[in-house]
Amino acid sequence: MSTRGDSDPVAVSSGDLIADRRYGFGRDLASRGDFSAAADLFAQAVEAAPEFAAGWFALGETRAKLGDGAGAAAALREALRIDPRDRHGAALHLARLGAANPDGAMSPAYVRALFDQYAPRFDGALLEGLAYRGPQRLLDAVERAGAPAGGFEAMLDLGCGTGLAGAAFRPRVRHLSGVDLSPAMIAEARARGIYDRLETGELVEFLGAERAARRRYDLVIAADVFVYLFDLAAIARAVAGVLSPGGLFAFTVETHGGDGVELGEKLRYRHGAAHVRAAVAAGPLQLLELAPVATRIESGGTVAGLLAVAARPGDDGSA
């Protein structure tokens, strides 16, 4: 699922009471739009506690809003040095500033921290705030592709989140599995009580383990998950490795007018149609449908996206 919380996903103390207070006051001022005063307080915080990653990150983020690109980049690099796992997403902000390569900027630690803190309010924010309808769009597309009359024997929900997509597909599936990077999201999905199996893990690594264990799926879906992956070729190859012959792979992405991949203002990746086609072919999978789709509303308008359905060719070469 794709979203972004407004609060700090890694709320930790610097170990210095004065630095913590200045950081807290700075965040309050930034939330009210007083970025200049906030930047001064964040600078004081990191002066008092030079190894305070959250303080450096907040300073970089605020300097960027003030138009100080060089100062922002310097602060963000400090945050990344102190926390190389990059739980705050400093590399993403550096990429937005043109100071880092967007490929690889999305750290698993950042995504995990973001969704762990967002999990309890995730469903309400998407369904009520963003009018989210990605699962239904995917279900409609899978049925257009020729879902079996008796349903699918086994389905895998990649980046299952709290289980919104799983709930939509559950009536058409005999055995439903889900995997997500965030333990808190998996806990929410487990509470929903619809999955036969849930695992926490990075998607490509999980799929590799599934292939090694000779587990196969008739359907694999990913609802608004790949906005956190730069290059889709690796995930397409990994999915192809666990699909049964004739099995389907359905997913959505955000898109833009070009062919490649770009990092959007909301710090999510947007994939051009040409990139999606090339990734599916790298599976190798056969593309059955690639169509424009809008799965939610954001900032007063629909978010441009693409919906793709692909198949692993059967033993006779048919999809």
Q: What is the mean pLDDT of residues 268-295?
A: 97
Give the model's pLDDT for residue 126. Answer: 81
Question: How far apart, in whole angstroms, are the C-alpha atoms of residue 117 and residue 121?
Answer: 9
Q: What is the CATH number of domain 131-311?
A: 3.40.50.150
Higher pLDDT, 14 or 163: 163
Per CATH, 17-114 and 131-311 having the same topology is answered no
Q: Give which of 100, 85, 28, 104 is closest to 62, Cα–Cα.
A: 28
Confidence tier at 317 by pLDDT (50, 70, 90): low
Say whether pLDDT at 6 is over 50. Answer: no
Q: What is the mean pLDDT of residues 67-86?
A: 97
Higher pLDDT, 124 or 65: 65
Q: Which CATH number fits domain 17-114: 3.40.710.10, 1.25.40.10, 1.10.3720.10, 3.40.50.2000?
A: 1.25.40.10
CB 305 within 8 A of CB 292: yes
Q: What is the mean pLDDT of residues 168-180?
A: 97
Say whether pLDDT at 214 is over 70. Answer: yes
Say whether pLDDT at 316 is over 70. Answer: no
Give the model's pLDDT for residue 1. Answer: 45
Confidence tier at 5 by pLDDT (50, 70, 90): very low
pTM of the model: 0.91
Say whether pLDDT at 185 is over 80. Answer: yes
User: Which residues in 159-185 are b (16+ Cβ under 10 Å) and which e?
Assistant: bbbbbbbbbbbbebbeebbbbbbbebb
Most confident by average pLDDT, 117-126, 146-155, 241-250, 289-298: 241-250
How crowded is residue 70: how many other Cβ atoms within 10 Å of its Cβ?
10
Phi, psi of 173 (to 5 degrees): -130, 135
Say whether pLDDT at 149 is over 60. Answer: yes
DSSP per-residue codes, 30-61: HHTT-HHHHHHHHHHHHHH-TT-HHHHHHHHH
The percentage of the chain sitting over the pLDDT mark of 70, rounded to a whole number, equals 95
Pairing of the two strands 217-222 and 243-254: parallel
First to last CA, the chain: 28
Say whether pLDDT at 128 is over 50. Answer: yes
Confidence tier at 318 by pLDDT (50, 70, 90): low
Give the model's pLDDT for residue 4. Answer: 40
- Domains of the chain: which residue ranges? 17-114, 131-311
Instruction: Indicate the burial class of 233 (C-beta count within 10 angstroms; 0-12, 13-18, 19 or more).
Output: middle
Q: What is the pLDDT of residues 20-45, one digit of tens each?
A: 999 999 999 999 999 999 999 999 99
Question: How far apart, in whole angstroms, are the C-alpha atoms of residue 74 and residue 93?
Answer: 11
Confidence tier at 300 by pLDDT (50, 70, 90): confident
Higher pLDDT, 311 or 117: 311
Say whether pLDDT at 151 is over 50. Answer: yes
Mean of pLDDT over the chain: 93
Say whether pLDDT at 127 is over 90. Answer: no
